[in-house]
Amino acid sequence: MRKEPIRVAIWGFGAMGSGMARMILSKQGFDIVGVCDMFPEIVGKSIFALLNVPNPYKHDVIIQSDIEALLNENHPEVVLCATDSFTKGAYPKIKLLLEKGCHVISTAEEMAFPQANNPILAASLDQIAKCHQKVVLGTGVNPGMMMDLLAIALTGVMTDIESIEISRINSLSPFGKTVMEEQGVGLSLPEFHAKKQAGQIAGHVGFKESTQMISTALGTKLSDFQQNMDPIVTKVDRESFYGKADKGHVCGVAMKASAILDERIPLHLNHPQQIEPHSEGIQTGDYIHLKGKPAIHMAITPEVEGGLGTIAICVNMIPHVMNAKPGLKTMIDLPVPRAIIGDVRQLLETE
Amino acid sequence: MRKEPIRVAIWGFGAMGSGMARMILSKQGFDIVGVCDMFPEIVGKSIFALLNVPNPYKHDVIIQSDIEALLNENHPEVVLCATDSFTKGAYPKIKLLLEKGCHVISTAEEMAFPQANNPILAASLDQIAKCHQKVVLGTGVNPGMMMDLLAIALTGVMTDIESIEISRINSLSPFGKTVMEEQGVGLSLPEFHAKKQAGQIAGHVGFKESTQMISTALGTKLSDFQQNMDPIVTKVDRESFYGKADKGHVCGVAMKASAILDERIPLHLNHPQQIEPHSEGIQTGDYIHLKGKPAIHMAITPEVEGGLGTIAICVNMIPHVMNAKPGLKTMIDLPVPRAIIGDVRQLLETE
């Protein structure tokens, strides 16, 4: 086992980035050597004060806004980049990090399978990563695990597949104001449709990525991809800490996608997100139904918590990324994710 | 994509080996170049006649009993070795196959993590494989997936684990006479205990392998491993096609194992196997309960069918084995398993 801890930096200290810092600080074998964020309220502050946790290191970690200075001074081996949802926005940041000699793990949903929406940028990142002998991976709870990798893994015990149906029924109740606005919680139907028309309802980013990840993993041809986003109208008054939807109003969005694999295997993705689903008797959960030989019906109830799940999988993939051959990787290229419980350095390949 | 199909041979043409042949024949990009079995009834016969399927190749595949002749004449790239349950028995066969320049996938339960019960043989296989630039993998539905790899994958979205509980509650009803005898179906309690004492009740092979696979994946230290096998006594008369257990008699075996990870995480494996579980209201299934952050409760009901699952995962791992770096691999070293749906050659790395 190597002696030096793994030098990690975090770019973006929001809910995800700060959660990753908290997780890493609870593990053995890591050293957080830098944190970058642009938000003036936190720049210049110590992450230990902000997280209200003791500092286990001999050095402080002060949030800085200048990523280049951070990289030049502190030489992280791996940077967790929790700044974007789309490849286009993440691309210049990842490029810089690779060129500075860092492995990169991105939370950007599109980066979970950037070949889907941005094949040219994906090819470019692959080239840059190979040129600098580094690895870049996009991951998260979804896309990255619950609606793609987990289903793929379960197909591993199947001799043939007739259809794939994956549902993630989750609650938006734990989320904050921004998410409520992005998902249209509380709007009337006309308001929802107007905002949707204006592109102001975010919904879920990742269906195209999940679909293409599954298709690529199985070695099939993908056709007839479509997705849609409909309002979920509540029949009862619902209220969460940050969200409120009166009866007849929008309490979330029903995201759906479908595609055909090899012209014979229908693939359906179903992802309704709403506040207080239990108020109408809806059981949240992750569900995978694979028809074929043998059929597999999986349920995880309640659903795997999105925030914590994304934080965990990004950190847990660090040793896999460091062990991989250089280039752009997706979750289907690397060994199965796993929780880091013992010293992370034990999980690094030594040869 | 490479032009030549993947040249596969199968050693052992029992339920597993013949099922693998049937599966491979339904896929694109493979060529079964040889089958070896010792059973006089089938030696010299064509596998297409035995399987009652059309021959898609330009050559016949005649079962031969001389493995060396098969290897020398037909040069398989990968051999599926479905001959043993224990590493000791599989070892000389795998050694020969590696030395003859073949990748090997073994169904031997102990080979799923041979470091657990046979560290010296495991190290030797790793050396031989590296020396000949080949890969050897042991896999199956269990050990290999349902009670180890799947739980490991789910921990990937967890920041910490407090306890691990994995159950596989399956039905022995589909199995034949040999399994009924090995699992003590139909015996009285005194008969069961006498046979158990004499080592004539096989139970489940694989707990030590699953436990060590999980512990290694998480980077923990394993302690306090124990396993036991108790009779399941039926309260009602039960009868399956090959098995019969009168009320008060043994209808199967309850296998249990436990261990502690890093002196704080209890790990429990629970694997009751019996005929006609539904007759006492038992819901068969694969269940994984992970306490921690976040908690994950997974159920697959009914259980993934063991025979078909093992056949599938062995064949489905062929491209992963061919893409891997040389040496002894286990399921935690390779990318997630997945069904081969399109042409298998698409799943081979080209560089």
Distance CA A180, CA A280 (A): 19
* Distance, CA of A262 to chain centre: 27
Structure tokens, B125? 């296989």
Question: What is the per-residue pLDDT for B175?
Answer: 82
C-beta atoms surrounding B326 within 10 Å: 17
Side-chain-facing half-sphere of B329: CA atoms under 13 Å: 25
Instruction: Report the topology of domain B6-139+308-347.
Output: Rossmann fold (3.40.50)
Mean pLDDT of chain A: 96
Which residues are within 8 A (CB) of A197 and not within 5 positions of it... i.e. 6 or more apart? Answer: none
Q: Verify whether the Cβ–Cβ distance B335 to A340 is below 8 Å.
A: no
pLDDT at A206 over 90: yes
pLDDT at B90 over 70: yes
Assign domain B149-304 one CATH number from 3.10.450, 1.10.357, 3.40.50, 3.30.360.
3.30.360
Q: Verify whether the Cβ–Cβ distance A219 to B346 is below 8 Å.
A: yes
B288 phi, psi to nearest 5 deg: -130, 125
Side-chain-facing half-sphere of B153: CA atoms under 13 Å: 30
Interface contacts (A, B; CB < 8 Å): 194
Q: Are A214 and A166 in contact (CB under 8 A)?
A: no
Sign of dihedral through CA atoms B53, B12, B342, B305?
Answer: positive
Kindly report the nearest CA distance between residue B351 and chain A, in angstroms: 12
Q: Mutating which of B152, B159, B216, B220 best tests the A interface, going by the most A Cβ atoms within 10 A?
A: B159
- Three-state DSSP class for A313? helix
With beta carbons under 8 A apart, name residues in chain A contacting B107.
Answer: none
Encode pLDDT of B281-324 as tens digits: 999 999 999 999 999 999 999 999 999 999 999 999 999 999 99
List the single residue in B158, B293, B338 with the smallest CB-CB distance to A155.
B338
Distance CA A338, CA B2 (A): 33
Name the residue in chain A with its Cα closest to that of B151.
A338
pLDDT at A267 over 70: yes
Q: Verify whether the Cβ–Cβ distance B339 to A218 is below 8 Å.
A: yes
List the single residue in A146, A261, A338 with the smallest CB-CB distance to B341.
A261
Which residues are within 8 A (CB) of B159 and not within 5 positions of it... i.e. 6 or more apart? Answer: A23, A26, A308, A311, A312, A315, A339, B292, B293
β-bridge mates for residue A78, sequence order: A8, A103
Distance CA B230, CA B142 (A): 19
Q: What is the pTM of this model?
A: 0.96
Sign of dihedral through CA atoms A95, A97, A99, A101?
Answer: negative
Question: What is the per-residue pLDDT for A187?
Answer: 96
Q: Are B44 and B37 in contact (CB under 8 A)?
A: no
How sure is the predictor about A315, in pLDDT bands with cuts at 50, 70 and 90?
A: very high
Q: Verify whether the Cβ–Cβ distance A331 to B336 is below 8 Å.
A: yes
Superfamily of domain A6-140+308-347: NAD(P)-binding Rossmann-like Domain (3.40.50.720)
Query: How far from A345 is each of A44, A179, A307, A320, CA to CA, in Å?
Result: 30, 36, 25, 11
Among B255, B254, B258, CA closest to B215? B258
Q: Is A27 exposed, middle or buried (0-12, 13-18, 19+ CB in 10 A)?
A: buried
Kindly report the nearest CA distance between residue A264 and chain B, in angstroms: 11
Exposure b/e, B31-62, CB count within 10 A at least 16 = b: bbbbbbbeeeebbeeebbebbeeeeeeeeebb
List the single residue in A262, A294, A297 with the smallest CB-CB distance to B308.
A294
Q: Mutating which of B6, B142, B158, B330 best tests the A interface, going by the most A Cβ atoms within 10 A?
A: B158
Pairing of strands A285-293, A296-300: antiparallel
Q: Verify whether the Cβ–Cβ distance A159 to B341 is below 8 Å.
A: no
Distance CA B275, CA A70 (A): 63
Among A258, A269, A276, A81, CA closest to A172? A276
Name the residue in chain B with its Cα closest to that of A265.
B341
Distance CA A126, CA A122 (A): 6
A217 phi, psi to nearest 5 deg: -60, -40
List the single residue in B158, B308, B347 with the smallest CB-CB distance to A219.
B347
List the single residue in B153, B297, B340 with the smallest CB-CB distance to A337.
B153
Q: Verify whether the Cβ–Cβ distance A157 to B298 is below 8 Å.
A: no
Question: What is the per-residue pLDDT for A233?
Answer: 97
C-beta atoms surrounding B182 within 10 Å: 16
Mean local confidence (pLDDT), A257-278 = 97
pLDDT at A351 over 80: no
Upstream peptide bond of A272 is cis (omega within 30 degrees of 0): no
Q: Verify whether the Cβ–Cβ distance A153 to B346 is below 8 Å.
A: no
Q: Verify whether the Cβ–Cβ distance A300 to B296 is below 8 Å.
A: yes
Structure tokens, A192? 């929802």
Residues of chain B with CATH 3.30.360: 149-304
Distance CA B288, CA B299 (A): 7
Lowest-pLDDT range of A30-34, A138-142, A199-203, B54-58: A199-203
- Three-state DSSP class for A21? helix
pLDDT at A124 over 70: yes
Query: How far from B102 is each of A63, B74, B93, B97, CA to CA, in Å?
Result: 54, 11, 11, 5
Kindly report the nearest CA distance between residue B89 and chain A, in angstroms: 25
Q: Verify whether the Cβ–Cβ distance A294 to B304 is below 8 Å.
A: yes
Amino acid of residue B196: K
Structure tokens, A63? 């949030």
Q: Verify whether the Cβ–Cβ distance A157 to B304 is below 8 Å.
A: yes
Residues of chain B with CATH 3.40.50.720: 6-139+308-347
With beta carbons under 8 A apart, name residues in chain A contacting B149.
Answer: 153, 336
Name the residue in chain A with its Cα closest to that of B149.
A336
Percentage of the residues of chain A whose pLDDT score is greater than 90: 95
Kindly report the nearest CA distance between residue A126 and chain B, in angstroms: 14
Tokens 């449709």 belong to: A193
How sure is the predictor about B351, in pLDDT bands with cuts at 50, 70 and 90?
A: low
Name the residue in chain B with its Cα closest to that of A298.
B300
pLDDT at A179 over 90: no
What's chain B's Rg over C-alpha atoms?
A: 21
Q: Are B118 and B87 in contact (CB under 8 A)?
A: yes
Question: What is the per-residue pLDDT for B288?
Answer: 98
With beta carbons under 8 A apart, name residues in chain B contacting A338.
Answer: 152-153, 155-156, 217-218, 332
Mean local confidence (pLDDT), B117-133 = 98
Distance CA A129, CA A137 (A): 10
Q: Is B285 exposed, middle or buried (0-12, 13-18, 19+ CB in 10 A)?
A: buried
C-beta atoms surrounding A351 within 10 Å: 5
How sure is the predictor about A182, in pLDDT bands with cuts at 50, 70 and 90?
A: confident
What's chain A's Rg over C-alpha atoms?
A: 21
Q: Are B317 and B338 in contact (CB under 8 A)?
A: no
Question: What is the per-residue pLDDT for A175?
Answer: 82
pLDDT at B181 over 80: yes
List the single residue in B300, B311, B337 with the smallest CB-CB distance to A296.
B300
- Three-state DSSP class for B99? helix
Q: Verify whether the Cβ–Cβ distance A149 to B336 is below 8 Å.
A: yes
List the single residue in B149, B262, B333 with the smallest CB-CB distance to A342.
B262
With beta carbons under 8 A apart, name residues in chain A contacting B305.
Answer: 294
Question: What is the per-residue pLDDT for A350?
Answer: 82
Name the residue in chain B with its Cα closest to that of A219.
B342
Residues of chain A with CATH 3.30.360: 149-303
Q: Does domain A149-303 have CATH number 3.30.360?
A: yes
Q: Verify whether the Cβ–Cβ distance A304 to B294 is below 8 Å.
A: yes
